[in-house]
Amino acid sequence: MIHTVKDPVAKEGGIAVLKGTLAPEGAVIKQGAVSPAMMKFTGTARVFDGEDAAMACLLAGKVAANDVLIIRYEGPKGGPGMRESLALTAAVAGCGLGDKIAIVTDGRFSGGTRNLSIGHVSPEAADGGPMALVQDGDRIEVDLPGRKLNLLVKPAELKKRLAAWEPPAPKFTRGWLARYQRLVTSAAKGAVLEPPK
C-alpha cells in the first residue's frame, strides 16, 4: 500500500484542476478515478438546470454514450450551497455508462466519485459563467493530461448568448439563504462570503 518515490502508485496525485473556455477560473476532477480511455473525451452537451432533472433523464433511459451531462445552477450561489452529486454518479455507473459519458457541474462531488465527473466549474452559471451559456448539442472537450475543459463554441456566438441570458430568480428572497446567495463567492475563491461592493 505504501510505495517508494521511485515506484509510485501513480505519477501524479489523484486530483487535477482543469481550465478552459468552459471553466475560466477552474474546475476540479478526481483524475485517479478516471479510466485511461477517458483521459481525453469530446462529447455532446445535454443541459440540465439542476441535478434532479439530469437524474430523471438518466433513469428514463434517455442518456447515451458520448453525452456530456451539463448540470448547472448547483454552485455556491445557484444551489445555493453546492450540494454533493454522489447519487447521480452512482446511478450513471449503475446504468453502465460510467466509462461512456462525462458529467460537468458547477456543484460538487463527494470523495466517492468515480469516472469522468468534473465539478466546481467556475464561474458558476448563476453568475453568468460559461456554464449558463451551454446549449444542447454543443461540443465539450475534456483533456485531462492537458488540464483543459473547453466549450467548443465560437466566441461571437457565446457573446450573443450572454447578451440574451437572464439570471434565474433567486430560490430564496429572505432569511439566511437569501443573504448567502447574495454574498457568496465562486467555488474558485472558496465559496466564502464577501461584503457587497
Measuring CA to CA, how many Å separate 134 from each of 2, 33, 99, 147? 43, 26, 23, 20
Work out the number of other CB atoms within 10 angstroms of the CB of residue 28.
20
Choosing from 35, 85, 110, 117, the catalytic residue is 110
- Neighbour-count burial for 95-104, b at 16+ CB within 10 Å, e otherwise: eebbbbbbbb
Nearest CA-CA partner of 185 in 172, 195, 171: 195
Axis crossing angle, helix 86-94 with helix 51-59, rounded to the nearest 10: 10
Query: Are the beta carbons of 151 and 121 closer than 8 angstroms?
Result: no
Annotated catalytic, 110? yes
- C-alpha grid cell, residue 80: 445555493
Measuring CA to CA, how many Å separate 77 from each of 72, 92, 174, 195? 11, 26, 14, 14
CA angle 48/50/54 to nearest 5° reads 55
Active site residues: 110
